Amino acid sequence: MLQIVSTSIFMLAFLTSPDAVAQETGSTAPPDTLEQLESADGTSTQLPDDTPPTVEPPAAEPPTVEPPAAEPPTAAPPPAAPPPAAPPPAEPPPNIEVASDNRSPSRSDSSDSPSWQFEKPSVSPALSAVVYSDGTSAGALMGVGASVILPFKQVVEKGPYWGGYTRGVGQVFLGPDLYNGYAMRVGAFAGPRLGPLSLDVGPDFFSDTYIFGSATLAPVAAMGIPATAYLDFQTLMFYGGVEPAFYFSDIRKKVDWGSEELFGFGDEFTYRVGTAINVEKLGLSVGYTHRMTGYGLQRGVSFGIRL
């Protein structure tokens, strides 16, 4: 009986062994059902009968890192204010046209504060004819010479302004005796300007002598104070004025105003009128003088050419 039980146990153990099962089924059990696993070098590892196969837990996923919130774009700084514009260069004073008679320049605005400006001087020939009469005798002379004129003016922004000129003139008088006298004058004159109207007043120092046959006006040094008004339209100009004169000595006879028909005062007195025509760079002038002296009446006609 014991032998049968032993045989039965042996047979049961044989039938339930892996090899027997493999032989019966023709397949090999998977390694995880085997009690022993053989390695390639013949060693074996005993698995615990009751220990379930170790299941590796799934790898923990790394924590999701929230990307940092995008910072709002930094507002661009406002553009720098452009540097202040440089002030425009000061304009040069405008050209000032010289009146065609080289006497009274036209005005143009220049600056807020007035200033004096001199123009280019001009030189022109001076021609004249003088006729003398004392009531009993008469004579005529021809004068030739030259004059130099330097105009100047006050430059203001607007409105009336002052202007004037300096003048020097010299002449030699020719007549029957070839040389019959001379005349020299140097003066400076100024006054207000308003549109075409102007007035010049100033000292005029002179020295002259005339020989009219038997009548001779002795040489004398004197100062005249001419006052001349102008009506100037640039192309055409008219003028008129008066000039009292005073001698620096008693060499020349003075006027006796009680015997004169026309008004006058001083040692002698002169009335003058004239006109001038100016075309581009050419100017022509003609004037008449009525000069009352202690020797009689001296009339003169003057001619001027400006090139």
Cα–Cα distance between 135 and 107 in angstroms, integer?
A: 48
pTM of the full structure? 0.62
- Show the tokens assigned to 176: 């029957």
All residues at 6 or more sequence positions from 76 whose CB lies less than 8 Å from its CB, including other chains: none
Q: What is the pLDDT of residues 50-106, one digit of tens each?
A: 445 555 555 555 555 555 555 555 555 566 666 666 666 555 554 444 333 444 444
What's the confidence (pLDDT) of residue 43?
44
* pLDDT beyond 60 at 177: yes
Length of the chain measured in residues: 307
31 or 182, which is more confident? 182
Domain total of the chain: 1
What's the confidence (pLDDT) of residue 40?
43
Q: Would you say residue 99 lies in a domain?
A: no
Instruction: List, as one string, the DSSP characters of 90-121.
Output: PPPPPP-PPPTTSSSPPP----SS-EEEEPPP
Q: Would you say residue 278 lies in a domain?
A: yes
- Do residues 233 and 226 make contact, with C-beta atoms less than 8 angstroms apart? no
Q: Would you say residue 191 lies in a domain?
A: yes
Q: Would you say residue 36 lies in a domain?
A: no
Q: Would you say residue 63 lies in a domain?
A: no
Q: What is the pLDDT of residues 219-266, one digit of tens each?
A: 999 999 999 999 999 899 999 999 999 999 999 999 999 988 899 999
Q: Would you say residue 130 lies in a domain?
A: yes
Residue 228 belongs to domain with CATH number: 2.40.128
Q: What is the pLDDT of residues 6-45, one digit of tens each?
A: 444 444 444 444 444 344 444 444 444 434 434 444 444 4
Q: Would you say residue 21 lies in a domain?
A: no
Residue range of the domain that includes 249: 117-306
For helices 18-25 and 2-15, angle between their N-to-C axes, nearest 10 degrees:
60
Cα–Cα distance between 203 and 220 in angstroms, integer?
A: 16
- Show the tokens assigned to 266: 């001083």
Q: Would you say residue 77 lies in a domain?
A: no
